[in-house]
Structures are given as structure tokens and as C-alpha cells.
């Protein structure tokens, strides 16, 4: 037992088990503690000596890498009994357990950290590019029943995936077909041969750019059953931007006391398989579509043997070594006779195939692809609208009703009995007047005007002749104007009633320009300083009209140009204030109801 003199008031909150002498021979009551007379919760004595808390040493974490360039040279993560790096230096190839980048050590990733089979070191001498191409081409010949030209394309795409850091753009492959047509088999074969692929179904958008995080390693994404991609807005944006080098997705990461913005890469070669074609125009233009049908390959994928798997592994190990061997060699810069999207998609394939016979095969095949893409572009809704405007436009304001009637006949559409602004057609489902108006403005750079024919006001569209000619050529049409040469800017000249000149004679044009100037001078100063007189404002430019009881003088309507007693001001989308008459305000309300 402990005596009272062994207790101090200052230690009243301390306990025996908190003492450094607890259950040690240094404790004056060691025997009592062993016999259980003293318990851990008992009050401490005057010999209390607090325990010294030792700080836990943080385990040093070495960052992991898959690919990149280190102090010794370019390296790739492989697995030979354990994770190692295959490094290509000036002295040749060597296998290291750790590499340093600017003096900082890095370890290789474990196979459980990536979704593909690990690579191994191919110790034999490396074959040339033609031999590698032939071996890849033979695998597609064995497992896929497809047109020979597409087997050539697939074989070159496999080579391309090992050279992505050198590319500016890349293409996407899109396999489309019914069940049992070989779509998944094609993706399986790409998964066996391409560079560090992620083969999955229903990949979330965050996982797409998360997998492409490492800037030193541009892997491959293979996605099966991609139908419905049109409804995934985030992922479709990533795929639309990811065909071009440098595209990034910024994401904010919240820390304990701060936040940072991290930028993820989206550029990489990608391949998809689906039973349906996508409808997003920007995504469609970035894909090479391969139509798959049920065939009879030399060997079914279900009959895959160990020998086949071993052959795949040897081939991909050769390709990895070829990648390291050629990392310092730039791709050839070739001059091509085509441009635009076709050039962006096919130039990287031709650069990789340069120097082997398949180059000429692909080059000749591009002509067929140009025609096919042109046919696909003409069969879109925009293609029909462009053809209609090119057929109807003669330089004068083109009434919208003429465009609508032409499209109804061309698309074999049926007008909705309840709502006349809707049309049903077989190819594009529901087509509305509002959608047509957006396409006229966005695709054809049209400008909408109100023209007055007697007492009737109707909508019409005006197009720049030079722009219309270029757009028509883009869609494969030829626009030949029957008008005399139009002076730049004349097509947008209107008189004080908002109507284009009926003739294009120089005198008529000068007269109308002069009329606008006189009208502006005449009414200058009659409006408040915050209100501007505009004769080129359309109903589409009006954001909102509002009542004003301060000004009851006659003012020139910014839309029709007439001088009427009005109490309506309007704000445009550009932040300007204008006067509009009662008739134009009523027409604006009707248009809003239709839209």
C-alpha cells in the first residue's frame, strides 16, 4: 500500500499507467503493481515521471512511374519476376529497379495498378518496321474477317499507338455492326497489341482523363458497347477534344487548407464498338467508321490457345522495345494534297506507315474516304439545309417559308397538324423551324431580317456570297451566283424601312447608303443618350422590350425604320437600348411563343 506522503495535489489528475515507471523496477510500488494491488486507473504518486511521446516517423513514399525519360534515358515499366524498368541509354538497353529524374527516385508500378498485361524484356535483336507490320497484319488476318484495306489500317494503328508522343493529332476507330459481327473481337485484338490499353465498358468521364493523367505516357482507350455516348455530355466533350495534342481537362482538388487546379490530358488514340452510329457531329468527324458484319475468320476468338497468347506477348514485347529504340527519331514530315479534318485523321497514319509498302495503299484509300465522308456530311440535316439555300438563294432576301417548303419536299416531311412549326421526317425525326433557324445562323452565317411586302411582314435570310460559296464547297456543292459582282458589305445594306435594295445597281446602292446616313442625322439627338438608333437590329437581337412613359415623341423603330408614336423601349443582347414600334413588339412576342 502507498502512504499519504507519497501523493501531491498537483498530480491528482495523473494516473499510474501514464507514468514511465509503470510496471518497471523503477516504480517504488512495483511489487504491489505485480500483485494487482495497484491498478492502471489509480492516482499517480509523487515519483510520477511522464511518458515521452515518440513521434511516428512517416514512411517515405517513393512515387511510381510507368514511362518517361529519366537521367539515364527513356524508360518503360516491365515485369520480370518483379517490377523493373527497361531503360534505353546511349550504351544500349538495361534493366533497373529504380530510376532517377532530376535526382528524384522513382519506382515501377505493380501489375495490379494497371489494367493491361505487363510487358517483359525482349532480349533478342529487334526486327525492322516492315517485319513488325507483317506480324501485326497476320494476327488481324487470322482473327477478323474484314476487307483487306481495313486490316491494313488496323495494323498501322497498332504501330501508331507506340509513337503517340510524336503526333499532333490522331484518329479514332469506330466499329459498328449487329451482334456477332466481330466488333468485340477487334477490340480484344487491339487490347492484346496496342500500347498500354484500358479495355472496358461504360467508362465514366473522370476515369477517362484520370487514366490519361501521366503526361509522359500516352496510353490507349478501348471502349465497348458505347451506344448512348450522345447523352453523356462530359465524356463526349473529352472525346471531341482528345484527338488533338495538348487538350486538357481542368479539375479543382480541395485540400485541407487550400485548393489546387489539376490539368488532365485527354489526347490519345481511342477505339470504340457499338451497335449504332453516334449522332454528335463533332464526334463523328473524328472517327474512322468500320462496318462490321458476321464473317468467317480463320480462327474464332473463342478458340484462343496458349500459343496464341504467347505469340501476342512476344509481339507486344517487341513493339515496346521498338518504341524505346525509336523514341529519339522524329516522324517524317510529309506533304499531302488534302487538308482539313481528313488531313488531321490520316496524316499520322501515313507518317507512321512512311517507308513501307502499305503507305501507298493507304494513300490511295483516302480518296474513297473523302467521298464517303462527303456523302455522310451531305446526308446530315445541315447538308440538306446547305443544298436548299444554295438552290434557292439569288442574292435577294430569301423568305424563310421558301426554305421550309423546300426542306419539307426534300426530306419528305409531314407537318404537325397541331403545331405548324414542327415537321416529322424519317431520317431526322422532329425538325422545327427554330432548329432550322439556328442552323442557318451557325452553319451558313446567315442574318435574319424582317421584310415588308405591302402590309405583310415576313422573315427572310441574307447570306454573304463569299461565305456561302465556301460553305457550299465544303459540303460538295457548287454555288454559282447569277448576280453581278457584289461589293463587300453591300448585302447587309438596308434602307430606312429595313428592306434590302431590290436591284444591285451601283446607283441604287449609293442611294440607299445615303438614305441611311440622312436618316441617322435626322434623328440624332431625338433619343436619350442611353438609346441608339439602329436600322440593322432584328427581332432575334431583342432581349426584352419594356414600357416607358417618359417619351411620347415619334421615334424611328430600330427594326422596321418607321416613325411611329411609341412607348416601347427594348434592350438588345449586346446591352444597347433601342426604340421599337407596337407592331414589331407584337411580332417579337409571336416569335417567342413559336420558339
**pLDDT of the chain, 595 residues: tens digit per residue:** 555 555 555 566 788 888 888 788 888 787 777 777 777 777 778 777 787 777 777 777 788 899 999 999 999 999 988 999 999 988 899 999 999 998 899 999 999 989 999 999 999 999 999 999 999 999 999 999 999 999 999 999 999 999 999 999 999 999 999 988 999 999 999 999 999 999 999 899 999 988 988 767 899 999 999 988 888 989 999 999 999 998 888 988 888 788 889 899 999 999 999 999 888 888 988 999 999 998 899 999 999 999 999 999 999 999 999 999 999 999 999 988 888 888 999 999 999 999 999 999 999 898 888 888 888 888 888 999 999 999 899 888 999 999 999 999 999 899 888 888 899 998 888 999 999 999 999 899 899 888 887 778 888 999 988 888 888 888 888 765 544 333 333 333 333 333 333 333 333 333 333 333 333 333 333 333 233 333 457 777 787 777 654 444 567 787 776 666 556 788 887 778 888 887 787 777 777 665 5
Residue ending a domain, choose from 54, 75, 98: 54
Give CA 131 to chain center in angstroms: 35
Residues 451 and 425 grouped into a single domain? yes
Whichever domain contains 417, its CATH number is 1.10.10
The answer to the question of residue 190 being in a domain is yes
Q: Is 365 among the domain residues?
A: no
For residue range 542-572, list pLDDT tens digits in order: 877 776 544 445 677 877 766 665 567 888 8
User: Within this chain, do residues 309 and 335 fall inside the same structural domain, yes or no?
Assistant: yes
Same domain, yes or no, for 72 and 45? no
**Count of the separate structural domains present in the chain:** 5
The number of residues making up the chain comes to 595
Residue 472 lies in a domain: yes
State whether 558 and 416 are in the same domain: no
User: Which domain does 87 fall in, by range?
Assistant: 64-113
Shared domain check, 428 and 525: no
Residue 226 lies in a domain: yes
pTM: 0.66
Q: Are residues 471 and 343 in the same domain?
A: no
User: Of 502, 439, 449, 445, which is closest to residue 469 (Cα–Cα)?
Assistant: 445
Residues 108 and 172 in one domain: no
Same domain, 193 and 311: yes
Domain membership flag for residue 373: no
Q: Going by C-beta distance under 8 Å and a sequence separation of 6 or more, which residues neighbour residue 344?
A: 169, 243, 244
**Domain-embedded: residue 499:** no
| 513 and 484 within one domain | no
The verdict on 201 and 160 lying in the same domain is yes
Distance, CA of 213 to CA of 250 (rounded, Å):
11
- Would you list the DSSP string of 273-325? EESS----HHHHTTEEEEEE-----SS-GGG--HHHHHHHHHHHHHHHHHHHH
CATH number for the domain that contains residue 356: 3.40.50.300
Tell me whether residue 502 is in a domain: no
C-alpha cell at 513: 447608303
Pair 135, 259 in one domain: yes
Tell whether 431 is covered by a domain.
yes
Let me know whether 410 and 296 are in one domain: no
Amino acid at each position: 500500500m502507498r502512504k499519504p506522503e507519497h501523493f501531491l495535489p498537483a498530480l491528482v489528475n495523473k494516473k499510474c499507467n501514464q507514468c514511465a515507471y509503470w510496471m518497471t523496477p523503477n516504480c517504488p510500488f512495483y511489487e504491489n503493481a505485480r500483485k494487482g494491488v495497484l491498478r492502471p486507473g489509480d492516482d499517480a504518486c509523487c515519483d510520477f515521471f511522464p511518458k515521452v511521446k515518440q513521434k511516428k516517423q512517416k514512411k517515405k513514399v517513393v512515387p511510381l512511374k510507368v514511362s518517361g525519360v529519366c537521367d539515364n534515358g527513356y524508360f518503360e515499366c516491365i515485369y520480370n519476376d518483379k517490377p523493373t524498368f527497361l531503360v534505353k541509354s546511349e550504351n544500349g538497353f538495361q534493366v533497373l529497379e529504380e530510376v532517377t529524374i532530376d535526382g528524384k527516385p522513382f519506382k515501377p508500378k505493380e501489375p495490379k495498378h494497371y489494367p493491361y498485361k505487363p510487358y517483359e524484356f525482349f532480349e533478342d535483336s529487334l526486327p525492322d518496321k516492315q517485319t513488325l507490320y507483317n506480324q501485326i497484319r497476320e494476327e488481324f488476318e487470322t482473327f477478323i474477317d474484314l476487307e483487306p484495306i481495313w486490316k491494313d489500317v488496323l495494323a498501322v494503328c497498332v504501330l501508331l499507338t507506340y509513337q503517340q508522343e510524336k503526333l499532333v493529332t490522331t484518329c479514332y476507330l469506330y466499329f459498328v455492326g449487329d451482334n456477332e459481327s466481330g466488333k468485340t473481337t477487334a477490340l480484344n485484338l487491339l487490347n492484346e497489341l496496342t500500347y498500354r490499353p484500358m479495355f472496358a465498358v461504360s467508362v465514366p468521364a473522370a476515369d477517362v482523363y484520370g487514366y490519361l493523367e501521366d503526361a509522359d505516357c500516352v496510353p490507349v482507350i478501348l471502349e465497348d458497347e458505347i451506344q448512348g455516348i450522345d447523352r453523356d455530355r462530359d465524356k463526349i466533350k473529352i472525346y471531341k477534344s482528345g484527338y488533338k495534342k495538348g487538350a486538357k481537362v481542368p479539375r479543382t482538388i480541395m485540400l485541407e487548407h487550400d485548393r489546387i487546379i489539376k490539368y488532365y490530358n485527354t489526347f490519345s488514340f481511342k477505339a470504340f464498338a457499338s451497335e449504332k452510329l453516334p449522332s454528335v457531329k463533332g464526334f463523328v468527324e473524328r472517327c474512322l467508321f468500320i462496318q462490321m458484319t458476321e464473317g468467317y475468320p480463320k480462327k474464332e476468338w473463342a478458340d484462343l490457345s496458349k500459343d496464341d497468347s504467347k505469340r501476342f506477348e512476344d509481339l507486344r514485347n517487341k513493339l515496346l522495345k521498338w518504341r524505346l529504340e525509336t523514341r529519339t527519331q522524329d516522324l517524317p514530315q510529309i506533304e499531302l494534297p488534302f487538308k482539313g479534318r481528313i488531313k488531321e485523321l490520316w496524316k499520322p497514319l501515313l507518317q507512321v506507315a512512311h517507308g513501307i509498302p502499305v503507305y501507298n495503299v493507304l494513300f490511295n484509300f483516302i480518296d474513297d474516304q473523302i467521298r464517303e465522308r462527303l456523302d455522310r456530311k451531305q446526308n446530315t440535316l445541315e447538308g440538306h439545309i446547305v443544298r436548299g439555300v444554295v438552290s434557292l438563294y439569288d442574292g435577294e432576301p430569301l423568305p424563310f417559308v421558301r426554305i421550309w417548303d423546300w426542306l419539307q419536299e426534300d426530306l419528305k416531311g409531314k407537318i404537325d397538324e397541331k403545331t405548324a412549326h414542327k415537321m416529322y421526317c424519317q431520317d431526322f425525326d422532329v425538325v422545327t423551324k427554330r432548329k432550322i433557324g439556328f442552323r442557318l445562323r451557325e452553319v451558313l452565317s446567315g442574318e435574319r431580317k424582317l421584310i415588308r411586302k405591302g402590309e405583310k411582314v415576313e422573315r427572310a435570310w441574307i447570306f454573304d456570297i463569299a461565305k456561302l460559296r465556301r460553305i457550299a464547297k465544303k459540303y460538295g456543292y457548287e454555288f454559282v451566283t447569277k448576280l453581278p459582282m457584289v461589293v463587300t458589305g453591300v448585302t447587309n445594306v438596308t434602307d430606312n424601312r429595313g428592306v434590302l435594295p431590290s436591284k444591285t445597281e451601283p446607283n441604287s446602292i449609293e442611294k440607299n447608303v445615303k438614305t441611311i446616313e440622312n436618316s441617322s442625322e435626322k434623328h440624332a439627338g431625338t433619343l436619350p443618350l442611353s438609346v441608339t438608333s439602329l436600322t440593322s437590329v432584328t427581332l432575334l437581337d431583342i432581349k426584352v422590350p419594356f414600357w416607358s412613359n417618359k417619351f411620347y415623341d415619334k421615334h424611328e423603330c430600330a427594326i422596321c425604320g418607321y416613325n411611329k408614336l411609341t412607348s416601347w423601349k427594348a434592350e438588345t443582347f449586346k446591352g444597347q437600348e433601342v426604340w421599337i414600334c407596337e407592331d414589331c413588339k407584337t411580332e417579337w412576342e409571336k416569335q417567342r411563343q413559336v420558339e
